[in-house]
């Protein structure tokens, strides 16, 4: 009982310590950590649900095949019962479903009966009058059937046969530009289909039938009759076509000459020629305007960043300035001499390259220059506050001016209070800068998290499919 109480007390103490540590973590950082953990948990649940919905084995020992014409399923299973102490990992391959020979013949016949709807692209066109390209598909994925095409013109004239032999190419492109107006070319598309089928059993006579384990079963060639007509041209296209033929004839008739004379008149129209001009130059001014706009926006962004950086450096140096003012005024120096001494000390450090030239040092240098020009002291301090234009420095200038009017009796005490506030502000600024740096690191961290999740999820989803 006593041991149980001791364990409970130790657990409670541990939880209190953990609670104290959690309270010390910045709220923003804690939210970001919780977001990362939440995202990872959601992804974990999604992967779990997807794996549960896509179970490979059903009924204890059944594995569903992929559909006709699909790829093999490569699976990794855990087998129980082979070893007493643990399960055994087993890699297996499950082939896709196949047609029987009779089923394949029926599928081939069905495809041929509906072939016009498969290969005709344009609505309203038919195989009786083809003037546009055909959609000669080489694979029907949903049927698991491959298709092979070839065109043969039906003519007894050998010259016409050779001329129109490749009128329709393997991709379905119809080259009917050479068909004279009013002529129709009749021919047929030879279609051979193939697919994997279930291997046939050995016949009763002891012979063996063809092995379709790795060899596809092919259909007999089917003839798909088509009539090909010339393309329909507009008036403009007919003019352009006849001009092209005219120029081609002029080219062939003057092969021995060093130049080709282009016709200046065609079908009652006077025509002229010129080379196409490069219009790229029109985009150059637009690119210049875009670049100028980008430079303007960038300049504003850079100026804003520079101002923010300057203000941050001024706030970081503020506590050091106040503490030195307190020390020098406590040693008997006037405010003016204290500023001059501090400025000289900073300049000495900059000249010896022990410190970079920070914005505060430049402002103090300007202040000393104004003193040397015999500007009124109050005007110099007020100008310093206006130039820096930060609340802390404005407060310091007001404090100095107030004590110059009423006497410096309480100046040291007031500077000490200001110094304490300044150090607190410096801590706050340093903490904010650290949080900003941490926020900037979040993007690469999230990118890494995304990459890791992809590496984990993609193989899992692939295995499920």
pLDDT of the residue at 105: 92
Report the SS3 class of residue 198.
coil
Q: Which two tokens stand for residue 167?
A: 């009128």
* Banded pLDDT at 400 (limits 50, 70, 90): confident
Q: How far is residue 260's CA from residue 126's CA, in Å, rounded to a whole number? A: 43
Residue 409 has pLDDT above 70, yes or no: no
pLDDT of the residue at 26: 67
Report the SS3 class of residue 190.
strand
DSSP 129-186: BB-S-B---SEETTTTEEEEEEEEE--S-HHHHHHHTTSB-TT--B--TTSPTT--EE
Residue 145 has pLDDT above 90, yes or no: yes
Q: How far is residue 322's CA from residue 343's CA, in Å, rounded to a whole number? A: 13
The model scores a pTM over 0.85:
no
User: Which of the two residues, 244 and 148, has the higher pLDDT score?
Assistant: 148
Residue 435 has pLDDT above 90, yes or no: no
Through-space distance between the first and last CA atoms of the chain, rounded to whole angstroms? 55
Mean pLDDT of the chain: 81
Report the SS3 class of residue 279.
helix
Q: How far is residue 230's CA from residue 181's CA, in Å, rounded to a whole number? A: 6
Residue with tokens 């405010």: 335
* Banded pLDDT at 189 (limits 50, 70, 90): very high
* Banded pLDDT at 181 (limits 50, 70, 90): confident
Closest CA to 439 of 36, 28, 27: 28
* H or E element at residue 93: strand 88-94
Q: How far is CA 146 from CA 44, 86, 105, 195, 439, in A?
A: 41, 46, 13, 6, 56
Other CB atoms within 10 Å distance of the CB of residue 403 = 18
pLDDT of the residue at 172: 87
* H or E element at residue 76: strand 73-79
pLDDT of the residue at 92: 86
pLDDT of the residue at 147: 94
User: Which of the two residues, 427 and 104, has the higher pLDDT score?
Assistant: 104
Residue 460 has pLDDT above 80, yes or no: no
Q: What is the pLDDT of residues 128-141, one digit of tens each?
A: 888 888 999 999 98
Long-range contact pairs involving 134-138 (C-beta distance under 8 Å, separation at least 24): 134/168, 134/172, 134/174, 135/172, 136/168, 136/170, 136/171, 136/172, 136/189
* Banded pLDDT at 25 (limits 50, 70, 90): low
Closest CA to 96 of 199, 196, 194, 193: 196
Residue with tokens 């995304």: 450
User: Which of the two residues, 251 and 283, has the higher pLDDT score?
Assistant: 251
* Banded pLDDT at 193 (limits 50, 70, 90): very high
Q: How far is residue 170's CA from residue 192's CA, in Å, rounded to a whole number? A: 13
Q: How far is residue 174's CA from residue 172's CA, in Å, rounded to a whole number? A: 6
Percent of the chain past pLDDT 70, that is, above it, reads: 89
Residue 146 has pLDDT above 90, yes or no: yes
């Amino acid at each position: 009982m006593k041991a149980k109480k001791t364990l409970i007390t130790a657990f409670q103490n541990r939880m209190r310590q953990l609670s104290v540590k959690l309270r010390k973590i910045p709220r923003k950082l804690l939210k970001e950590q919780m977001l990362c953990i939440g995202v990872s948990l959601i992804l974990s649940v999604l992967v779990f649900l997807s794996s549960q919905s896509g179970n490979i084995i059903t009924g204890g020992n059944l594995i569903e095949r992929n559909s006709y014409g699909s790829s093999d399923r490569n699976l990794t299973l855990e087998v129980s019962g082979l070893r007493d102490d643990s399960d055994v990992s087993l890699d297996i391959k499950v082939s896709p479903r196949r047609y029987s020979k009779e089923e394949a013949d029926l599928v081939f016949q069905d495809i041929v009966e509906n072939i016009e709807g498969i290969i005709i692209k344009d609505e309203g066109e038919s195989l009786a009058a083809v003037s546009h390209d055909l959609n000669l598909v080489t694979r029907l994925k949903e049927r698991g059937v491959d298709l092979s095409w070839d065109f043969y013109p039906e003519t007894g004239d050998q010259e016409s046969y050779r001329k129109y032999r490749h009128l329709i190419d393997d991709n379905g492109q119809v080259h009917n530009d050479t068909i004279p107006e009013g002529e129709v070319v009749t021919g047929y598309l030879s279609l051979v289909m193939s697919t994997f089928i279930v291997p046939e059993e050995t016949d009763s006579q002891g012979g063996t039938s063809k092995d379709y384990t790795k060899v596809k079963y092919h259909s007999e060639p089917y003839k798909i009759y088509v009539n090909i007509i010339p393309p329909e041209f507009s008036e403009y296209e007919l003019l352009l076509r006849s001009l092209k033929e005219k120029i081609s004839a002029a080219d062939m008739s003057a092969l021995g000459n060093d130049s080709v004379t282009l016709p200046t008149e065609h079908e009652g129209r006077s025509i002229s020629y010129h080379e196409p001009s490069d219009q790229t130059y029109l985009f150059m001014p637009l690119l210049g305007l875009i670049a100028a706009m980008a430079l303007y926006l960038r300049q504003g962004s850079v100026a804003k960043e520079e101002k923010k950086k300057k203000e941050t450096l001024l706030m970081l140096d503020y506590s050091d300035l106040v503490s030195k003012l307190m020390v020098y005024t406590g040693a008997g120096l006037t405010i003016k001499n204290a500023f001059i001494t501090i400025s000289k000390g900073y300049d000495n450090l900059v000249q010896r390259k022990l410190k970079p030239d920070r914005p505060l040092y430049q402002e103090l240098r300007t202040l000393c220059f104004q003193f040397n020009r015999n500007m009124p002291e109050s005007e110099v301090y007020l100008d310093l506050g206006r130039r820096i234009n930060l609340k802390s420095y404005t407060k310091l200038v007001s404090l100095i001016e107030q004590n110059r009017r009423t006497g410096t009796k309480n100046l040291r005490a007031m500077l000490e209070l200001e110094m304490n506030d300044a150090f607190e502000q410096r801590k706050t600024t340093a903490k904010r800068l650290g949080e900003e740096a941490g926020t900037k690191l979040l993007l690469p961290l999230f990118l890494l998290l995304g990459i890791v999740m992809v590496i984990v999820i993609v193989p899992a989803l692939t295995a499920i499919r």
